[in-house]
Every structure is written in C-alpha cells, then in structure tokens.
Amino acid sequence: MPTLPDLITRNRAGERIGTYAVCSAHVAVIDAAVQQALDDHWFLHIESTSSQVNHQGGYTGQTPQQFANAVHSAARRAGLSAERVLLGGDHLGPYPWRAEPASQAMERARELVGACVLAGYRKIHLDASVACADDRGLAENTIAHRAISNSHEHPDHARNFRRPAQIQPQQQAYGETENWHEKAA
C-alpha cells in the first residue's frame, strides 16, 4: 500500500492514482469509511475541519486528540491497522474565530495546528484566506504570510512546539481550495 508522499509523487509523474478523503466526525460515517478502506485494501484518509474539531472543542465538542482517538478506536475495532490511518486537518486557519481581531484569530489557529500535529494528524491543510474582524480586505501576500506563520515549522511557532519523535512527518497544504501547494514537513 502506498504512503501519501508516494501517492503524490506517482500522481505528479503522470500515473492516474489518487485517494479520497472523508471529512466527517459522525460515528456512522467514520465506521463506514473504515469499512470502505478495508474493502478497497487502501488506507483510511479522514479529516476534520477547524470548525468541526479544534482545541476548544469545535461544534462537535471534540479536540483533535479526541477525534484521533475515536478514529483509531473505530479502525482498531474493525481490524484496520494504525499504519493505514491517515488523519488530516482541513482548512486549518482562523475561520472559527473570524469575528475576532486577526492577531487573536491567528494565535488560536496556530494553537489548533499544534494540537492537530500532536494528535498525530499527518496531512495539514493550512488556510488563512479568511478575513478577520479587523481586516479591510485580504491581499494575497497577507494570506501567504499568515499561512506560513501558522505552520509548525515557522521559527516563531516552532519554539513553542516540539513534535514527539514517534509522530510521523506531515504533508502540509498551503492555500485555499482552488490554489494549494503541498510540502512534506
């Protein structure tokens, strides 16, 4: 079974290969996705958005660690090995806190990214394209700067974030849905 970086490399080389991601925190959907991964002899790629699941509970009431535990528990019950589970954070950025000033919203977004990485998420889609309360429009360079500053690799953020050795590297996707670029972390 290919890894996500292998799959991306093969796709970029012209091979018609890909994967699907399930973006849901509902127990029945997670169980169905686990079963589909087993049926397909593929990996389970499941993601949560910044509104669904975040370090403050999101609208599901789950933190990234609680979501990761629930997904891994469902996979284990069905016989899907942990190595075949790929957790992702989709559109991680200031969206849930967009009514706050940008500095506060982006700090919360950085905390969310750190919580996702510590919970074992391996695919991180950073999206800073949402205007916050004190923004007067949002220039592309501001979006790019915010996305990079939201990355756990940014020096200002990395000082406060240390990934335990047992956590695998992430794939990071920068940008909004229509125009994103991935980077292996």
What does pLDDT average to in each consecutive run of 10 residues of the chain (185 residues)?
80 91 96 96 94 97 98 98 93 96 95 93 91 94 86 53 50 49 48
User: How many residues does this entry show for the chain?
Assistant: 185
Mind listing the domains of the chain with CATH numbers? 4-184 (3.20.20.70)
pLDDT, position 5: 79
* Phi and psi, residue 64, nearest 5°: -55, -40
CB atoms within 10 A of CB 142: 15
pLDDT, position 145: 87
Write the CB contacts of 25 (distance below 8 Å, at least 6 apart in sequence). 48, 52, 53, 58, 60, 62, 67, 70
Q: Rounded to two decimals, what is the model's pTM?
A: 0.82
pLDDT, position 156: 52
Provide the residue type at 95 as one letter.
Y
Q: Tokens 């695919």, residue?
A: 123
Write the CB contacts of 137 (distance below 8 Å, at least 6 apart in sequence). 131
pLDDT, position 168: 54
Identify which of 126, 19, 20, 119 has the alpha carbon closest to the alpha carbon of residue 70.
119
pLDDT, position 178: 47
pLDDT, position 148: 83
